[in-house]
Chain A
């Protein structure tokens, strides 16, 4: 892993995270009816308990970089990814993303179990921003990658979770995205499919155009795939640097 010869800082920016703070309002989150709301309002308890999932996080990711986000459970990694993916809006600060994103966050989002695999591919493709013509043209390729040729017209509710994940991965990665967000998704499916997915991601990385943001609890996997790592701990940015240094420091905290 000493190929840090490529100076990514000369590449254009792909993701800019500027002083991002994410505050969750614990008290109001559980309020879903008017009675509770007015009771809390009367008691002046409404906006009290705050939980800061991220505190003033800033980092830049350049085009072609492969960055791992590490940290213990509940430290804000997934929140960070969701903000970058545009699903969550930060309470303070801003995130700029240049290019299209293929979010592999919990595969199979927006799939409808009543629809067939074919119908779901079109629905999911639309949500990812693909054109109909593109899905038409890539349909066979998607099915082939997912290895589900015989089940195209079967309702998704009859599929196993592994099969659903295959289709989702195949759709999201059928075109080379500018930014690929991978959140623990490689742990689904059988070993062979996992390897197939990893090969495809590796292929994107080698092309040099795809920026990858990667979250995994497997440090071994992070070290193998990423060049750089960002360590977020309890909402604070603890460390940002070459993957081996960050991983070493991360391991050392447990000693």
Chain B
């Protein structure tokens, strides 16, 4: 599509069309993420500050609820001073997944008017939603830094593994997002179902309860919790933020495996069905 640049008469102007699909998609992704960002904070007084405030406020609410009302859910390995940090790291990591998949789920349906008129790679829409949640996540990190500062937690070199963890989590979310966005085109039920799945998933993942609890659970739930992809991503994040260790080989291996598996399934489902989208949106 963009392979002929030589027909440009205006010499002074830069090349009109992107050199290749990669350049084109990169520019589209950047524009779409910028658009979402601008729309999210348009006409709000605090604007971007909400991305920092929101996780902080959530953390405050949750730490009050779970250290007073459900005090016993936190015991053993997590000291009271560490609990807020434990909460916020878990919460923002889980939010990346829940927000990005919720948005990706609808992405193709929302882009329907566009897909009916312009030729554009369809995968950019779910992928863009995941990238947007990554942008939000980076603001949430400011909140984490503030919490660490407040509780005088000194970060260690283990934090250099953060990009690795994020990359794996992004791949996982993109795979999931692509699969859900394709399914939602054919069956709108998916969007109702996914809300329930996310809620169940949230309780199954140690966001506010600590991992010491797992040993008290029924055996089959134990298995469910440990193979749960989000359990592993949260473990990875807390290892580098709180426990200052390199994640165990098992955690790391499962994180990688889930990322590859999700991406493979998501891509396959999306690729197999995408040419039929236009007839259903």
Could you list which residues of chain A lie within 8 angstroms of chain B, going by C-beta atoms? 24-25, 28-29, 31-34, 37, 82, 85-89, 97, 99-101, 103, 105-106, 109-110, 112, 114-115, 119, 122-123, 126-134, 136-138, 174-176, 178, 209
Contact = CB atoms under 8 A, between A and B. Distances in A.
A96 B195 CA distance: 43
Given A32-B280, A86-B119, A176 B18 contact: no
A4 to B, nearest CB: 25
Interface of B: 1-4, 7-9, 12-18, 23-24, 27-28, 30-32, 34-35, 38-39, 42, 113-120, 186-189, 275, 278-280
B17 A129 contact: yes
A112 B119 contact: no
B278 A29 contact: no
A132 B26 CA distance: 11
B16 A110 contact: no
A123 B4 contact: no
Contacts of A174: 16
B250 to A, nearest CB: 37
A87 B118 contact: yes
Given A34-B189, A131-B23, A178-B7, A126 B28 contact: yes
A29 B279 contact: yes
Contacts of A99: 1, 3-4
A132 B119 contact: no
Nearest to B13: A137
A127 B14 contact: no
22 contacts: A24-B279, A29-B279, A31-B186, A32-B187, A32-B280, A85-B118, A86-B1, A101-B1, A101-B119, A103-B118, A103-B119, A109-B118, A115-B35, A119-B35, A129-B24, A130-B16, A134-B17, A136-B14, A174-B16, A175-B16, A178-B4, A178-B7
Contacts of B14: 131, 133-134, 136-137
Contacts of A37: 187
A209 B16 CA distance: 16
B118 A33 contact: no
B276 to A, nearest CB: 9
Given A24-B279, A114-B39, A106 B117 contact: yes
Contacts of A122: 31
Given A103-B118, A110-B117, A126-B28, 18 more contacts: A29-B279, A32-B187, A32-B280, A37-B187, A85-B118, A87-B119, A100-B2, A100-B17, A106-B116, A109-B118, A114-B42, A119-B35, A129-B24, A131-B15, A131-B16, A134-B16, A137-B12, A175-B17
